[in-house]
Amino acid sequence: MKPDTVLSVKDMHTVFATPGGTAHAIRGVSFDLRRGERLGIVGESGAGKSALVLSLLGLVEPPGRVAGGSVWLNGRDLRTLSERQMRRVRGKEISIVFQDPLTALNPVRRIGPQVAEVLLMHGDLSRKQARERAVGLLADVELPEPEKCYAAYPHELSGGMRQRVMIAIALANSPDVLIADEPTTALDATTQAQIITLLNKVIEERGTAVVMITHNMGLVADFCDTVQVMYAGEVVEYGSRDRLLDRPAHPYTAALLASVPAMDARRDLPLPALSGLPPSLTDLPEGCAFAPRCPLEGERGLCRTTRPAPRILDGEPDRMSMCHFSAEQLALTS
Amino acid sequence: MSRFLLRRTFSAVLTVLGGTVVAFVVMRLLPGDPARLVAGEFASAEAVAEQHRALGLDEPLWSQYLIYMADFFRGDWGFSYSLGEPVFEQFVRSVPATVELAAAAVTLAFAGGVIGALISSYSRGGPLDAAVRASSYIGLGTAPFWLGLLLLIVFFERLQWLPGPEGRLSSSTAAPPPVTGLHTVDALLAGEWATLGDAAVHLILPAVTLGFVIYAFLVRMLRASMLELVREPYILVARSKGRGRWGVIVRDVLPNALLPAITVGGLVLAELLTSTVLAETVFGWPGVGKLVTDAILQQDFAVVQAFIMISACLTVACNIVVDLLYGIADPRVRVRSS
Ligand SMILES: Nc1ncnc2c1ncn2[C@@H]1O[C@H](COP(=O)(O)OP(=O)(O)OP(=O)(O)O)[C@@H](O)[C@H]1O
Ligand code: SF4
Ligand SMILES: [Mg+2]
């Protein structure tokens, strides 16, 4: 574990029971998050990014189940906590901003109480104090007329304003870790930029560590310090933003980046689909999960028979790639 | 909002008119001459003809209708020959009993429905959920009068825990001083605890009989919509704030599920009118239902007609109240209509 680690995830496994068999949605994911770090998680749809988030918070519901692993936060393994104890962690030490702000607020309740309740649940404030703090939070996320927003219903606010409310809720108790699961995907480009600017500001003020899940490589390049690439429930590559974007060590990362045309010119493009499909999570190939789509694999038997181990790259500390031929991939881009 | 109200009012008036016209015509087409019934079986032909004129039966049908409607809204609901008093007074006497019974039934059904749906969605797929679902099937598939008889056999005849079909109070208990007409409330107001207890035990079986179908209907609907709602993203957000599974169901899911329940509530209230007729008959409950069944048996058409009029008005009133309530309860509707 790195010295100033806030969150340390070790060998997480999550499965879903489906009619077609057990889907292994998360397969041995490990990573560390330092205080104030901004980690980007990228990967195709279905890679397991959201499942990972729910697993960390203990919110996987049947037919899903966390099958193993540990989540260390502030000195204890969240997986050993009771549901009662977990409730004191969620929204206090770790919180989430979800993708779709339009459906993330309860439509029949006013905005204000939905913000204030997260304060009331985790602190011993009076209702009046919670109300004042909530209005303050709405002002912090730069909502015009926070008093009016407090009394408004969700449908009276625009998508961008609602996402600001969600950020206010997530940051209300100054959590150690903020997870943003595609926080801007549902918004138009201008609003996206405003939300990211706001996130930058409020995170900096509080020194919050962020896990930013996104399909948007431009956002990774602008916002994140480190990047983790997920494929079929595994972290296939991890590294600092610049190293990883400039010199991918995993063929999947390389393919992802290659599929973003003219990265420098058009950084705001979302990830387009790669050729081929990810493997079925109920029936994974024996060797490397990426082998059927891998341009580097050729006809090499090793990739088809042996699952590559996560490997620290030579001469690159803090850099991991899960590929038998990382060196060759690196050589391609140097 | 005003245009919306105007349209609602207009369609309400039409509904009442349509309902009453049909009722009026059907009542007049039924076999049996009310004039003969009123005059008596052995009355002379002249006497019957005289009665015919007195009842206004030789006027054309449309004018009879207009006269009836005008009288109705003035509080003159005709004369009940079988009991020898104005129909209006009979209703005034019977309504409190029915209101008390219906209120008890709806309260029981609503409380039971909400609790059942909460339990069901908390323990989805578990044995408790299965029990709630089973009770809902039973309730929907059981005729109220049959259920009433069954309850009487078990709790009155066999176990002797509850009183039989003797009405609202034991014969040894005097009615409390009338204020609202509801015996339980009046007893409470007067501080007559023994009377309150007696009125309450008499209410249990009829209220359960009447409320069970409503409960079954409500719990099925609430459960279905709550199981949908738990998948909403805002529920996950509420969990991620630190709220527990039960807390989420009570505070975030239930309020959303109750919105459609308002509509159902309106349907149920209108439906209640018919069910009370049966339940009151089984339990000898001296309410509107019993008044009407007795009247039908006596071919006392003035009473039956008044009942149809009230039913039409009540149904329309329920619909309007439901619309208004819905507008108040759902912030999204509130905005659209303003
Ligand atoms: N409720 C569920 N039931 C069955 N399988 C599920 C369920 N939720 C997730 N999964 C499985 O987990 C896998 C990962 O899903 P997840 O939502 O984490 O993907 P993601 O990376 O967040 O994708 P996206 O970018 O589209 O949000 C899916 O491919 C699916 O097989
Ligand atoms: S291990 Fe083989 S198949 Fe897998 S990514 Fe590396 S080269 Fe491709
Ligand atoms: Mg997702």
Same structural domain for residues B195 and B214? yes
Of A48-57, A228-237, B133-142, minimum mean pLDDT range: B133-142
Residue B164 and residue B213 in one domain: yes
Q: A317-334, pLDDT tens digit by residue?
A: 789 999 999 988 888 876
Domain assignment present for residue B267? The answer is no
Scan for tokens 């309150």, then name that residue: B196
Same domain, B103 and B82: no
B303 is a domain residue:
yes
pLDDT of residue A263: 43
pLDDT at position B57 = 75
Question: Which residue in chain A is spatially nearest to B254 when comparing CA positions?
Answer: A108
The atom of ligand 1 lying closest to the CA of A230 is 21
Contact between B47 and B38 (Cβ < 8 Å) = no
Q: Per-residue confidence at A261, pLDDT binned at 50, 70, 90?
A: low
Domain match, B111 and B214 both: yes
Do the beta carbons of residue A268 and residue A189 sit within 8 Å?
Answer: yes
Check if B18 contacts A (Cβ < 8 Å).
no
What is the structure's pLDDT at A62?
Answer: 87
Cα nearest neighbour of A83 on chain B? B244
B335 CB neighbour count, 10 Å cutoff: 12
**pLDDT single digits (tens) A170-200:** 999 999 999 999 998 888 888 889 999 999 9
Apex B98 CA angle, B301 and B10, nearest 5: 70
- Structural tokens at position B6: 């105007």
Do B79 and B102 have their domain in common? no
Q: Is B93 on the interface with A (CB under 8 A)?
A: no
B278 falls within a domain: no
User: Tell me, what's the pLDDT at B31?
Assistant: 67
Q: Are B76 and B182 in contact (CB under 8 A)?
A: no
pLDDT at position B81, please?
75
Interatomic CA distance for residues B288 and A59, integer angstroms: 54
Query: Which of A46, A45, A65 lies closest to A54, judged by CA?
Result: A65
Run of H or E including A31: strand A21-34
Looking at the partner chain, which of A95, A108, A110 has a beta carbon nearest the beta carbon of B240?
A: A95
The alpha carbon of residue B110 is apart from the nearest alpha carbon of chain A, in Å, by 21
B196 falls within a domain: yes
Task: Please state, in angstroms and rounded to a whole number, the distance separating the CA atoms of residues A82 and A90.
Answer: 12
Contact B234 A96 (CB under 8 A): no
Answer yes or no: do B243 and B141 share one domain: yes
- HSE value, Cβ hemisphere, 13 Å, CA-based, for B177: 5
Number of domains into which chain B is organized: 2
CB of B235 within 8 A of CB of B192? no
Q: What's the confidence (pLDDT) of residue A24?
A: 95
Query: Given this model, what pLDDT does residue B50 score?
Result: 81
CB contact under 8 A, A109 and B255: yes
B252/A contact by beta carbon, under 8 A: yes
Answer whether A105 touches B (CB < 8 Å).
yes
Its ipTM equals 0.90
Q: Is B212 found in the same domain as B115? A: yes
- Give pLDDT, residue B77: 83
| Residue B269 belongs to a domain | no
Q: How many A from CA of A186 to the centre of ligand 1?
A: 18
Tokens of B153: 């056999």
Spatial separation of the C-alpha atoms in residues A236 and A259, rounded to whole Å = 17
Indicate if B207 and B67 belong to the same structural domain.
Answer: no
pLDDT over 90 (residue A116) = yes
DSSP 8-class letter at A310: P
Cβ contacts of residue A322 below 8 Å, gap of 6+?
A234, A235, A236, A237, A250, A308, A309, A310, A311
Q: Residue B282 domain-assigned?
A: no
Q: Which of A288, A311, A321, A332 to mutate to test the pocket of ligand 2 (most atoms within 8 A of CB)?
A: A288
Average pLDDT (A36-46) is 94
Query: How confident is residue A160, by pLDDT bands cut at 50, 70 and 90?
Result: very high
Residue B200 placed within a domain: yes
Per-residue pLDDT of chain B (338 residues; tens, 9 = 90+): 567 778 777 887 888 888 778 777 777 777 666 777 667 777 788 887 887 777 777 778 788 888 888 888 888 887 777 778 888 888 888 889 998 999 999 999 999 999 999 999 999 888 999 999 999 999 988 888 889 899 999 998 889 888 888 888 888 888 888 888 888 888 888 888 888 889 889 999 999 999 998 899 999 999 999 999 998 999 999 999 999 999 999 999 999 998 878 777 777 777 777 788 888 888 989 999 888 888 888 877 788 888 888 888 888 888 888 878 877 777 776 655 44
Are A103 and B232 inside 8 Å of each other by CB? yes
CA distance B280 to B293: 9
Report the predicted TM-score, pTM, of the whole model to 2 decimal places.
0.83
Check whether A275 has a pLDDT greater than 90. Answer: no
**pLDDT the model gives residue A1:** 61
CA of A332 to the centre of ligand 2 (A): 14
With a cut of 70, say whether residue A272 has pLDDT above it. Answer: no
CB contact under 8 A, B242 and A107: no
- Say if residue B103 is in the same domain as residue B222: yes
B20 and B144 share a domain?
A: no
Closest listed ligand to the CA of A303: 2
Does residue B268 form part of some domain?
no
Residues belonging to chain A: 334
SS3 readout for chain B: CHHHHHHHHHHHHHHHHHHHHHHHHHHHHCCCCHHHHHHCCCCCHHHHHHHHHHCCCCCCHHHHHHHHHHHHHHCCCCEECCCCEEHHHHHHHHHHHHHHHHHHHHHHHHHHHHHHHHHHHHCCCCHHHHHHHHHHHHHHHCCHHHHHHHHHHHHHHHCCCCCCCCCCCCCCCCCCCCCCCCHHHHHHHHCCHHHHHHHHHHHHHHHHHHHHHHHHHHHHHHHHHHHHHCCCHHHHHHHHCCCCHHHHHHHHHHHHHHHHHHHHHHHHHHHHHHHHHHHHHHHCCCCHHHHHHHHHHCCCHHHHHHHHHHHHHHHHHHHHHHHHHHHHHCHHHHHHHC
Q: Do B6 and B127 reside in the same domain of the chain?
A: no
d(CA A245, CA B73): 83
Alpha carbon of B138 to those of A272, B123, B153, B256: distances in Å?
Answer: 54, 20, 18, 26
Does the distance separating the beta carbons of B335 and A122 come in below 8 Å? no
Q: How far is CA B233 from CA A54, A66, A167, B239, B250, in A?
A: 13, 20, 15, 10, 16
A49-72 mean pLDDT = 94
Q: Which class for B2: exposed (0-12), middle (13-18), buried (19 or more C-beta within 10 A)?
A: exposed
pLDDT at A72 over 50: yes
Domain that holds residue B233: 95-259
pLDDT at residue A140 is higher than 50: yes
Q: Are residues B40 and B163 in the same domain?
A: no
Give mean pLDDT, residues A35-45.
Answer: 94
